[in-house]
């Protein structure tokens, strides 16, 4: 456990080292995402008072929250790191270490949380003053605590959903296309592109059963006070269930992949 | 003619290389198919709650989406791999290899790697654009359709120029990708209809960062916009962006310090 936190600490320091790049990219990405979402919301609410259970300012608050939540759940460029290790043969040295490779990589991901949290705090500081808390939403210390728990589970779930895909690099020369595909699916069914309540009623049971909602929309719903304690507990249970599936799949793919890994890179 | 022959060689090499890695070939088709689906799902869900978005109906929006798909497929097939590698060439000094060739280095670094595995998606994008135009409920006119497709190709040139303008700073910054990440963030504006943007953001998207001119503004040509102002605006901005990019590229080459760069 001490090693886990040490690795996380090293990654956090590394992230902060490239300050200009780090902050400039993060700021432009945030402003752009929010800008596009802002204009989409304005256009959508041209003729309606409420959509998918949100008022206009409520939906804007949803978008700000989900964009910031995504920063805590999905680290910037670690999605490619594992497949890169395999392509380039850099995995060799990790195989000699007396710790699990997956655990080390997850510690690295946790390390990115510190700078990401600083970003979220800074980028989100204006929200209460500009958007306030729109009618129908209830942001309280309790809902914030629920959201924090949901984000931690979401972070693990996202890692465990990307990890087995990255391990496909044992067989394919390049699996970045699969990672982009994963990102697209997660964006749509996780509620990053649109609030999931806008999806048709018949699709809701499917969306609720899939793991993607629990990565982004679920923590935001918890933050905005849109979940009862029962719904929150059920959601966490489903997310943790998917974590078990992801961990099992990862172990299986890892075992088969390492059996035929030659260690020379591609 | 010489450059066309050279490009034909690039394409041949790329296809033979892509056939060596068949799994990746299918992964890329899968990814691009999902990218198209993700756009169509977005508009489909939005139009369940509104009849107009940025002044366009769902049918008009699907035509616009078809245009975005075509521009993106051309970018992914012809340019994407090259744009990805360019910062590495500069940072590691591998650009030397291109500078000693008896052809334009800009042509060589921009077009050398034709992504054969994205070529299937280019066909798919053409099919989707044809489908979107075919299902449009009113007659569009062959002339307008030809002009629209021509403007989309001009939009590709504009997109290329803008992307290069964000990558070329690597000559001075020596970062992993120049300002590439910033470009990718801003590129989201390309995929949304210009009608939703208002005020100074709209003005910027039509001039300084002309993302709306790549696929969105050309579509107005089909929906009753006055053709000549649209064509003049897009052609003018594209020409200016291309010339500026070539000038910045030449300045970048002067700043290039080979392997120690």
pLDDT of residue B261: 45
Distance CA A83, CA A249 (A): 16
Taking the CA of residue B232 and the nearest CA in chain A, the distance in Å comes to 27
- Greatest mean pLDDT among A88-102, A121-135, B83-97, B137-151: B137-151
Query: Which residue from A42, A177, A194 is facing B45, i.e. has the nearest CB?
Result: A194
The fraction of chain A above a pLDDT of 70, given in percent, is 96
Task: Give the mean pLDDT of chain A.
Answer: 88
Count of A–B CB contacts within 8 Å? Answer: 102
Verify whether the Cβ–Cβ distance B24 to A172 is below 8 Å: yes
Distance CA B159, CA A48 (A): 35
Tell whether A200 lies on the interface with B, counting CB pairs under 8 A: yes
Verify whether the Cβ–Cβ distance A188 to B38 is below 8 Å: yes
pLDDT of residue B128: 95
Distance CA A33, CA A187 (A): 12
Structure token digits, residue A81: 């790191």
Sign of CA dihedral A146, A33, A25, B38: positive
Structure token digits, residue B115: 């992504």
pLDDT of residue B12: 84
Residues of B whose CB is below 8 A from A33: 185, 188
The mean per-residue pLDDT over the stretch A250-264 comes to 87
The fraction of chain A above a pLDDT of 90, given in percent, is 52
The mean per-residue pLDDT over the stretch A32-47 comes to 91
Least trusted range by pLDDT, from A18-32, A74-88, A155-169, B72-86: A74-88
SS (H, E, C) B12-81: HHHHHHHHHCHHHHHHHHHHHHHHHHHHHHHHHHHCCCCCCECCECHHHHHHHHHHHHHHHHHHHHHHHH
Distance CA B112, CA B61 (A): 34
Tell whether B88 lies on the interface with A, counting CB pairs under 8 A: no
Least trusted range by pLDDT, from A59-63, A127-131, A141-145: A127-131
Distance CA B28, CA B72 (A): 13
Residue pointed to by tokens 């629990």 = A214
Considering only CA atoms, which of B116, B84, B82 is closest in space to residue B181?
A: B84
Domain of residue B122, residue span: 2-260
Q: How many domains does chain B have?
A: 1
SS3 A51: strand
B162 within 8 A of B185, measured Cβ to Cβ: no
Give bridge partners of residue A50 from the DSSP assignment.
A55
ipTM: 0.87
Taking the CA of residue B139 and the nearest CA in chain A, the distance in Å comes to 27
Listed by start position, the domains of chain A span 2-259
pLDDT of residue A206: 96
The mean per-residue pLDDT over the stretch A250-257 comes to 93
The one-digit pLDDT tens for each residue of chain B (261 residues) are: 788 888 888 888 887 777 776 777 788 888 889 999 999 999 999 999 999 999 999 999 999 999 999 999 999 999 998 999 999 888 888 888 888 888 899 999 999 888 887 888 899 999 999 999 999 999 888 999 999 999 999 999 999 999 999 999 999 887 776 688 899 999 999 999 999 999 999 999 999 999 999 999 999 999 987 889 999 999 999 999 999 999 999 999 999 887 654
Residue A114 has pLDDT above 90, yes or no: no
CA torsion B105-B106-B110-B113 (nearest 10°) is -10
String of DSSP letters for A97-147: SSS-HHHHHHHHHHHTHHHHHHHHHHHTTTHHHHT---TT----HHHHHHH
């Amino acid at each position: 456990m001490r090693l886990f936190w040490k690795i996380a600490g090293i990654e956090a320091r590394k992230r902060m080292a490239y300050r200009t790049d780090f902050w400039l990219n993060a700021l432009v990405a945030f402003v752009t995402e929010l800008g596009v979402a802002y204009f989409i919301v304005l256009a959508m609410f041209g003729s309606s008072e409420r959509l998918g259970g949100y008022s206009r300012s409520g939906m804007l608050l949803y978008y700000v929250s989900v964009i910031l939540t995504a920063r805590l759940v999905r680290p910037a460029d670690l999605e490619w790191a594992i497949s890169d290790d395999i392509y380039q043969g850099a995995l060799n040295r990790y195989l000699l270490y007396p710790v699990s490779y997956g655990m080390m990589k997850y510690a690295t991901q946790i390390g990115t949380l510190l700078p990401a949290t600083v970003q979220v705090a800074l980028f989100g500081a204006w929200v209460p003053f500009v958007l306030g808390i729109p009618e129908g939403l209830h942001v309280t210390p309790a809902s914030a605590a629920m959201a924090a728990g949901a984000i931690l589970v979401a972070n693990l779930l996202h890692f465990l959903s990307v990890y087995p895909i990255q391990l496909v690099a044992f067989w394919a020369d390049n699996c970045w296309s699969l990672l982009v595909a994963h990102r697209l699916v997660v964006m749509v069914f996780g509620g990053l592109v649109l609030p999931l309540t806008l999806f048709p009623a018949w699709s809701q049971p499917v969306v609720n059963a899939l793991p993607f909602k629990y990565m982004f929309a679920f923590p935001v719903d918890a933050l905005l006070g849109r979940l009862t304690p029962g719904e929150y507990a059920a959601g966490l249970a489903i997310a943790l269930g998917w974590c078990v599936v992801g961990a099992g799949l990862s172990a299986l793919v890892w075992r088969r992949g390492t059996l035929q890994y030659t260690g020379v890179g591609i | 003619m010489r450059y066309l022959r050279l490009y034909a060689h690039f394409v041949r090499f790329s296809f033979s290389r892509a056939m060596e890695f068949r799994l990746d070939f299918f992964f890329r088709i899968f990814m691009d198919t999902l990218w198209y689906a993700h756009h169509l799902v977005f508009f489909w869900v939005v139009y369940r709650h509104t009849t107009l978005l940025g002044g366009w109906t769902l049918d008009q929006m699907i035509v616009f989406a078809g245009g975005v798909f075509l521009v993106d497929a051309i970018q992914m097939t012809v340019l994407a791999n090259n744009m990805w590698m360019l910062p590495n060439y500069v940072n590691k000094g591998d650009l030397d290899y291109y500078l000693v060739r008896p052809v334009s280095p800009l042509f060589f670094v921009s077009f050398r790697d034709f992504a054969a595995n994205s070529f299937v998606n280019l066909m798919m994008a053409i099919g989707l654009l044809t489908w979107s135009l075919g299902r449009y409920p009113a007659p569009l006119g062959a002339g307008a359709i030809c002009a629209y497709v021509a403007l989309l190709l001009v939009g590709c040139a504009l997109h290329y120029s803008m992307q290069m303008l964000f990558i070329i700073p690597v000559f001075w910054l020596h970062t992993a990708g120049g300002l590439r990440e910033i470009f990718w963030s801003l590129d989201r504006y390309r995929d949304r209809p210009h009608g939703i943007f208002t005020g100074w953001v709209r003005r910027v998207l039509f001039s300084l960062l002309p993302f709306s001119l790549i696929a969105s503004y050309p579509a107005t040509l089909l929906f009753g916009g006055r053709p000549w102002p649209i064509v003049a605006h897009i052609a003018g901005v594209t020409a200016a962006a291309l010339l500026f990019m070539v000038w910045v590229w030449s300045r970048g080459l002067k700043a290039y310090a080979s392997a120690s760069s």
